[in-house]
Structure 1
């Protein structure tokens, strides 16, 4: 336990370069006496950690000190390379170069088992360019500007402090701190256009942390769906739902029972099954689908 804490303390100082004893005691849930004892142990081991008293004092680590690759296990090295491989798939040259350097350092080949394609059909270059700009702004703590169309089809220009990308409910989102609203907002990336990265930077440490946890919960109205699907298309259910939610009858037909979000995706999914599926409940969903089908028939019927 002490060894793990010593490594964690060293990594923390490497990331922050300095900290107070009280800060370290609180972070690692130990006493001040234990913190200073750990510092003595690390110093005795040759790690250049020193303390300074008075105003502006604290515990510091030499700016030129780096940890050897030996501090990372083989499994940890593989995880780092795997993560970088997925990011490099966005075609960012700087990440690919970093991946090559770390692969040589670790004496391990980067994984080529992951390919991430953020683009929609027919818009390969445009979508990848958008994701690259967003990723660049996030990693560089730079302000991000874009035009956005919300669910009410209202268009507006946004300047946000981008925090992270989120994949949820079949779509990619950007979580960012909106300068105009002075709060966190979640933006669907397919509704973003004219994306540009500003030279102006921001400090993440100055942003409210607790609010960020709330934005990650993208809430929808959930409805209990019971859907019957033919044997020929039952495989489609497994693409979007867990196998425990599907029951297969002797004739090969499948029954899906699941809590699903009441969103346009749901209606598009059901309609994509055509005549091979039937909504058994809820009745409200059946009626809405009937209305949508009638409107489609009227639209495409001959006069």
Structure 2
């Protein structure tokens, strides 16, 4: 008899509601007979677990059953508190009350160990919090949203989407959603979303989403392998951006060899170093950067006339 399997079955029932014995047997790689013995053990331990027959039947817990804190280890209680506090740190609303109740229930004093501010410099913090609250409500409530969206070229377009997930990647927040205008899954940078509105139109869950949000992010630009060189004066920026395993220091310069999506972000990143960067490979990337510098120079020359 595996005691850990009993707890896993209990957590599974709490999560799924009603399940069948064959489903549990497949999940935990045991026989159906073993599952029924486990259910008898749980019932004998005072857990209100029941089985029903017929169409729609299965194994389930008594409605409104709450897991007692005595069934959780000290580490599990700490992990729960840390998880809720992490949500609070990333500005997820309405967590203070939950934290207070959990600490009182578990009788654990939790220190305030983390604080994160994702708001941008010069931004209106309350406006951003309002947008996050609206997006959270629309995702959990499966309500369609509409907004004005500006792409990387500054071109605006009206969008109507079914929001699915918020994603934080490379110092920026994104909304992962099904765009009804494009009839496909899209990532929208939240800082470019304007005039956000949660509609009264509801949608069904998306069971056939793309496997990975981050694979979709890679599709935003074709991956390109680049080699860059930096003087030691900007080493702090290099180490802030790239992992150690792609950086090589030869005593005179820093070299970076990495594969990244070729997007406007990559062009802007390279140009932000001015004359403190060299593109060693590929030549095509260097040519694109030169062309952008020429356009910028022409603009400023015309602006001073």
TM range (shorter): 0.7 to 0.9
> In 1, distance between residues paired with 2:82 and 2:234?
34
Question: How far 1:169 moved relative to its partner?
Answer: 4.1
Q: Retained in 2: the 8 A contact 1:50–1:60?
A: yes
Question: How far 1:263 moved relative to its partner?
Answer: 1.1
Show the 5 A alignment for 1:245-260: 245-251=246-252, 253-260=253-260
> Which residue of 2 is the match for residue 232 of structure 1?
233
The structure-2 alpha-carbon separation of the partners of 1:101 and 1:8, relative to structure 1 and needing over 3 Å to count, comes to: same
> In 1, distance between residues paired with 2:277 and 2:214?
33
Q: Which runs of 5+ in 1 are unaligned?
A: none
Matched, 1:159 2:157: no
Q: 1:242-277 CA deviation, whole Å, 9 max, x = no partner? A: 1121111223x2111111221111121112112222
Q: Retained in 1: the 8 A contact 2:144–2:160?
A: no
> Which residue of 2 is the match for residue 37 of structure 1?
37
Show the 5 A alignment for 1:267-278: 267-278=267-278
Q: 148-157 vs 5-14, which deviates more?
A: 148-157
Show the 5 A alignment for 1:101-112: 101-112=101-112
> In 2, distance between residues paired with 1:144 and 1:126?
17
Helix, strand or coil at the partner of 2:147: strand
> Which residue of 2 is the match for residue 241 of structure 1?
242
> In 2, distance between residues paired with 1:142 and 1:101?
30
Q: Retained in 2: the 8 A contact 1:222–1:261?
A: yes
Q: Retained in 1: the 8 A contact 2:145–2:197?
A: yes
Helix, strand or coil at the partner of 2:237: helix
Q: TM-score, normalised by structure 2?
A: 0.86
Q: TM-score, normalised by structure 1?
A: 0.87
> Which residue of 2 is the match for residue 282 of structure 1?
282
Q: RMSD of the alignment, in Å? A: 2.5
> In 1, distance between residues paired with 2:69 and 2:178?
36
> Which residue of 1 is the match for residue 300 of structure 2?
300
Q: 33-42 vs 183-192, which deviates more?
A: 183-192
Q: Which runs of 5+ in 2 are unaligned?
A: none
